[in-house]
Each structure stands twice: as structure tokens, then as C-alpha cells.
């Protein structure tokens, strides 16, 4: 019987901090307490004195090998991306199924599961609804009741490909509400964006700087308000992804205070970077092209405040990297052709610790909650994951708060030739990462193989 005994760590959960041993038997936490004993002579003892021991991170918004047309994919596949996740202390990810035109939700789900099989850590999938037709409600029911996929992603932007009209957004929300499922929504006013993009291009304005100018803050604020209105009247529980503006936060808080079930996510890049990155020389700003874009500085303050107050519940990465060479540079003479997305899955826990906890913007327990417990609860994984408790999966992060390092594309595990956090000083790092009772990362080395992760069947609300 495989077992680990983690001694004298400072255990952190979303609600408690205490010194304890943790006994892991097979893939589960079997005991917590002082002076725990080995199970047998093979039990490996891990000295965690001076370390924090917290539940492994859960990144509920990533896009590994996302097809973006013309044979291009986001540059991390499920193997390289989950290797990076583990190296950064994240032990579960939730990616997306994006059905192709004419493909049923279930066929798309089965195909995506095959692609995701090479993951090193456990993975769940949100189902994207990219078209609405008469079979959609029944297929959504199957996703929720049989496939462990009780969350549906919809896009208000990208109307020419995967975005939905308001009529169809309402239909998805109405169906999800009846199924006790949650709708995850990308809020940007797609038509205004398209109008501004075309206008800039026709004026010869082609550089990355026009990416944020074609997606100004009110494009998000308006879409958030409209999404909230649709959710209110359909009674649909909502999760708003990558919230980037103060205006969006205010609208979300107002709706929640009036009784709506609305949850929100922000991303490390919106907390830590701002729109000045797009003024970098030449084409360098392309590395920062993601949607919604980086914002004027004052929004960062509002987002940190919202995280601290619990007005925003999670910080996910929207991990969707593209190499500068050969991928981002496809948009060198047309900013609308720069693939949208950045890397971050490896850096999330460390950034939130260094720039959140150590800068006193969030507490240690909030760090655990924002990065692990809240996403587990919201997306049907709790209490199996997202906490340290007897019977929970042994997904553990042993965090050494005493180290220092600097983020660099030369040393990260992401398969990407750039890292938007290059030069960020990091305090603290994973000392060891355990996934399902197996040591997955130790002293800088990944110890688990391609295919070690499993598909996560998730509970509905």
C-alpha cells in the first residue's frame, strides 16, 4: 500500500491554519494530526517543517492546444501545459470543449477527452455552446446528468465563429437554469469590437496598440450588464470569466446584492499588468494580446479590492499561450490576426502569493480559497478537491516561502517563447507537489508521466 507521511507542515486551508502531520494512503488523505505514525516500512516520510502545505491549485480556466484556425493551436498541449501547471503547484485544470460546426456536444466532448488524455494532472472540461439548435437542450442535459460537465461556456464576442446572439444566449441560460448548471460567460460586445477593428484597419492602424483600443473598458461593462440581465430573467447561475474592469466589478456586486447568483473570476495578468505594455517598441506588444485586453492602471486596484472583499471569487489564468515566432507574428501587419492569449498556468500560485499575500492585498487563507477551494466549490469538485481533509484526494502543494526566483521564458515549463511576467521577482515556490498521492514534482523535477491525470466528473450545483 503506497503511503506518504508529511511531518510538521503548516497546513493551510481556506478557513484554518495549523501545524499537522498528513498521512496519505494510496490517493487519499487518510489522517491529519500530531505525531502520526508510518503505515509500514515503505511509508515515505517527508519533512515539511517550515513549509506551508495547502491543497493543490485548481485553475478553472485554461485552453490547452486550442484550435484557432488555419492549422494553428495554442502552443501548450495537455502534456506540456499540465507539466507547467504541476511545476507551479496546480494539480487540476478545467479546460474547454469547443464543438466544431455541425458536431454534437457529446461527440466533441469525447474527442476532447481523447486529446486531454495525455495530461499529467487531473482535468475537467467545461462545455462551450457555440451554436444553438433543437437538440442542444437534450445534449446539455446529458452533459450534466451523465458526463460530469455541469458548466457551459458562451461567448458574447467572436460572433463570426463561436459567439452567440442574445436570443441564443438566453436559450442557453434558460436551459442551464432548469438543469441546475452554471453558465460561464465571456463578456465583450462583439459587434462594437468588430466595428472598431474594421475602422482602425481601414485607417491603416494595424499595430498591437489597436487591440486594446478596439476593445475599450465599456465594451466589457455593457456586456456584463446585458449578461446579468439575461441571467436575472432566466434565473441562471452565472460565472463571469476574466473580469478586467472596475465597471464590471461594480455591476456584478450590484446584481449579487439584489439576489442574483453571479460569481466572477479575474486573471493574474489583469491584476499585475496594464495597457502600457501595448506601447512597447515594434511588434513586442503582441505578446500581451489577450481578450479582454490589459487595462489602464486604476482597474488593477479595483480588482485586488474585489478579490480581498470576496466580490471576485477566483483567479484563473485563461492560459492560452502562443509563440511570438510563427504564431503571434501572423498578425504583424494586422493586429486582428494576432492569436489572442497568454501563458500563466505555471505562474499563478506564485504571483498571487508574492504580489497578493506578501503585499498584504489578500490573506494566506484567501490565497488558498481563490486558487483552490473556491474553484473546487464552484465547479463541483469540492470536497474531493480544493481542501485538506480526511477522505479528500491527496493533491497537495508543499510551498517553500523562503526561496526567491525571477520569472523567465528561458526557465519556465510553458511551451512558449515568451512570458509576459518576465522579470517579475517571485518569493516562495513549490518545494514538492503531490497529485493523487503520488509525488509529481520534487526539487525542480517533474516525476509523473504523460497520461497520469484522469478526467474529472463534476457534480452539478
Binding site for Zn ion (CB under 5 A): 318
Torsion of CA 20, 21, 25, 29, to 10 degrees: 10
Provide the minimum distance between the beta carbon of 342 and Zn ion in the complex, in angstroms, as a whole number: 10
243 vs 396 by CB, closer to Zn ion: 243
Q: Could you tell which of Zn ion, ligand URP, none binds residue 83, using a CB distance below 5 to 8 A set by kind?
A: none
Phi, psi of 396 (to 5 degrees): -130, 145
Are the beta carbons of 435 and 27 closer than 8 angstroms? no
How many degrees, rounded to 5, is the angle at CA 432 between CA 402 and CA 368? 75
Q: What is the CA radius of gyration of the chain?
A: 21
Q: What distance in Å separates the CA atoms of residue 55 and residue 398, rounded to the nearest whole number?
A: 9
Give the start-end residues of each E strand in 160-282. 182-186, 238-240, 262-266
120 vs 320 by CB, closer to ligand URP: 320
Cell numbers that stand for 395 in this block: 493533491
Residues in contact with ligand URP, total (CB under 6 A)?
A: 8
Provide the minimum distance between the beta carbon of 394 and ligand URP in the complex, in angstroms, as a whole number: 31
The angle, 0 to 180 degrees and rounded to 10, between the axes of the packed helices 166-178 and 217-234 is 50
340 vs 387 by CB, closer to ligand URP: 340
**What one-character DSSP code corresponds to residue 53?**
E
Q: Could you tell which of Zn ion, ligand URP, none binds residue 90, using a CB distance below 5 to 8 A set by kind?
A: none
Provide the minimum distance between the beta carbon of 267 and Zn ion in the complex, in angstroms, as a whole number: 9
Q: Could you tell which of Zn ion, ligand URP, none binds residue 290, using a CB distance below 5 to 8 A set by kind?
A: ligand URP
340 binds ligand URP (CB under 6 A): yes
- Report the SS3 class of residue 106: helix
Q: Could you tell which of ligand URP, Zn ion, none binds residue 291, using a CB distance below 5 to 8 A set by kind?
A: ligand URP
Q: Could you tell which of Zn ion, ligand URP, none binds residue 125, using a CB distance below 5 to 8 A set by kind?
A: none
157 vs 352 by CB, closer to ligand URP: 157
Are the beta carbons of 3 and 42 closer than 8 angstroms? yes
For the window 176-205, what string marks contact with ligand URP as x by the rule CB under 6 A? ----------x-------------------
Provide the minimum distance between the beta carbon of 64 and Zn ion in the complex, in angstroms, as a whole number: 11
Provide the minimum distance between the beta carbon of 301 and ligand URP in the complex, in angstroms, as a whole number: 22
Give the start-end residues of each E strand in 34-181. 44-47, 52-55, 57-59, 67-69, 72-73, 90-97, 122-128, 151-155
311 vs 318 by CB, closer to ligand URP: 318
Provide the minimum distance between the beta carbon of 319 and ligand URP in the complex, in angstroms, as a whole number: 9
Cell numbers that stand for 22 in this block: 498528513
319 binds ligand URP (CB under 6 A): no
266 vs 429 by CB, closer to ligand URP: 266
For the window 262-291, what string marks contact with ligand URP as x by the rule CB under 6 A? ----------------------------xx
- Report the SS3 class of residue 11: strand
Provide the minimum distance between the beta carbon of 92 and Zn ion in the complex, in angstroms, as a whole number: 17
CA distances from 164 to 35, 157, 200, 283, 290 (A): 57, 8, 24, 32, 20
Question: Which residue in the block uniquely carries the three cell numbers 502534456?
Answer: 79
User: Which of the residues 344 through 383 are near ligand URP (CB under 6 A)?
Assistant: none
Half-sphere exposure of 360 (CA within 13 A, CB side): 0
Provide the minimum distance between the beta carbon of 58 and ligand URP in the complex, in angstroms, as a whole number: 18
Q: Is the dihedral of CA 80, 83, 88, 93 positive or negative?
A: positive
318 binds ligand URP (CB under 6 A): yes
63 vs 299 by CB, closer to ligand URP: 63
Provide the minimum distance between the beta carbon of 340 and ligand URP in the complex, in angstroms, as a whole number: 3
For the window 52-91, what string marks contact with ligand URP as x by the rule CB under 6 A? -----------x----------------------------
Are the beta carbons of 429 and 67 closer than 8 angstroms? no
Provide the minimum distance between the beta carbon of 291 and ligand URP in the complex, in angstroms, as a whole number: 4
341 vs 356 by CB, closer to ligand URP: 341
Q: What distance in Å separates the CA atoms of residue 104 and residue 135, rounded to the nearest whole number?
A: 9
**What one-character DSSP code corresponds to residue 170?**
H
Provide the minimum distance between the beta carbon of 134 and ligand URP in the complex, in angstroms, as a whole number: 27
Q: What distance in Å separates the CA atoms of residue 288 and residue 274, rounded to the nearest whole number?
A: 10
Find, among 95, 180, 170, 172, the residue nearest to 129 by Cα. 172
55 vs 341 by CB, closer to ligand URP: 341
- Residues near ligand URP (CB under 6 A) are 63, 186, 290-291, 318, 320, 340-341
Amino acid at each position: 500500500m503506497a503511503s506518504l507521511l508529511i511531518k510538521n507542515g503548516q497546513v493551510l486551508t481556506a478557513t484554518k491554519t495549523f501545524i499537522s502531520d498528513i498521512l496519505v494512503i494510496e490517493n487519499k488523505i487518510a489522517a491529519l494530526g500530531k505525531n502520526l505514525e508510518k503505515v509500514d516500512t515503505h511509508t515515505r516520510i517527508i519533512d515539511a517543517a517550515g513549509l506551508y502545505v495547502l491543497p493543490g491549485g485548481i485553475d478553472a480556466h485554461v485552453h490547452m492546444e486550442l484550435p484557432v484556425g488555419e492549422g494553428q493551436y495554442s502552443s501548450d498541449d495537455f502534456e506540456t501545459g499540465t507539466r507547467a501547471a504541476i511545476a507551479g503547484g496546480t494539480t487540476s485544470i478545467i479546460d474547454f470543449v469547443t464543438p466544431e460546426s455541425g458536431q454534437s456536444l457529446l461527440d466533441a466532448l469525447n474527442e476532447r477527452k481523447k486529446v486531454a488524455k495525455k495530461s499529467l494532472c487531473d482535468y475537467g472540461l467545461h462545455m462551450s455552446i457555440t451554436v444553438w439548435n433543437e437538440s442542444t437542450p437534450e445534449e446539455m442535459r446529458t452533459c450534466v446528468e451523465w458526463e460530469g460537465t455541469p458548466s457551459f461556456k458562451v461567448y458574447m464576442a467572436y460572433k463570426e465563429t463561436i459567439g452567440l446572439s442574445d436570443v441564443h444566449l438566453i436559450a442557453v441560460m434558460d436551459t442551464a437554469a432548469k438543469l441546475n448548471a452554471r453558465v460561464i460567460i465571456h463578456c465583450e460586445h462583439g459587434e462594437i469590437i468588430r466595428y472598431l477593428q474594421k475602422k482602425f484597419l481601414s485607417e491603416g492602424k494595424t499595430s498591437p496598440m489597436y487591440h486594446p483600443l478596439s476593445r475599450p473598458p465599456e465594451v466589457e461593462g455593457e456586456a456584463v450588464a446585458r449578461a446579468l440581465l439575461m441571467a436575472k430573467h432566466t434565473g441562471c447561475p452565472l460565472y463571469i470569466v476574466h473580469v478586467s474592469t472596475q465597471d464590471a466589478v461594480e455591476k456584478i456586486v450590484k446584481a449579487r446584492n439584489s439576489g442574483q447568483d453571479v460569481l466572477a473570476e479575474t486573471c493574474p495578468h489583469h491584476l499585475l499588468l496594464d495597457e502600457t505594455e501595448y506601447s512597447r517598441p515594434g511588434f513586442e506588444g503582441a505578446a500581451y494580446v489577450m481578450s479582454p485586453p490589459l487595462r489602464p492602471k486604476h482597474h488593477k486596484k479595483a480588482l485586488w479590492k474585489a478579490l480581498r472583499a470576496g466580490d471576485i471569487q477566483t483567479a484563473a489564468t485563461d492560459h492560452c499561450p502562443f509563440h511570438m515566432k510563427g504564431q503571434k507574428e501572423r498578425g504583424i501587419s494586422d493586429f486582428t490576426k494576432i492569436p489572442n492569449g497568454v501563458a500563466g498556468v505555471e505562474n499563478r500560485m506564485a504571483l498571487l502569493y508574492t504580489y497578493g499575500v506578501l503585499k498584504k492585498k489578500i490573506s494566506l487563507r484567501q490565497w488558498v480559497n481563490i486558487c483552490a477551494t473556491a474553484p473546487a466549490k464552484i465547479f463541483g469538485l469540492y470536497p474531493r478537491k480544493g481542501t485538506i481533509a480526511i477522505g479528500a484526494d491527496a493533491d497537495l502543494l508543499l510551498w517553500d516561502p523562503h526561496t526567491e526566483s525571477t520569472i523567465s521564458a528561458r526557465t519556465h515549463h510553458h511551451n512558449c517563447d515568451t512570458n509576459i511576467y518576465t522579470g517579475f521577482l517571485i518569493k516562495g515556490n513549490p518545494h514538492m507537489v503531490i497529485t493523487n498521492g503520488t509525488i509529481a514534482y520534487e526539487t525542480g523535477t517533474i516525476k509523473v508521466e504523460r497520461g497520469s491525470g484522469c478526467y474529472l466528473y463534476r457534480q452539478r450545483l
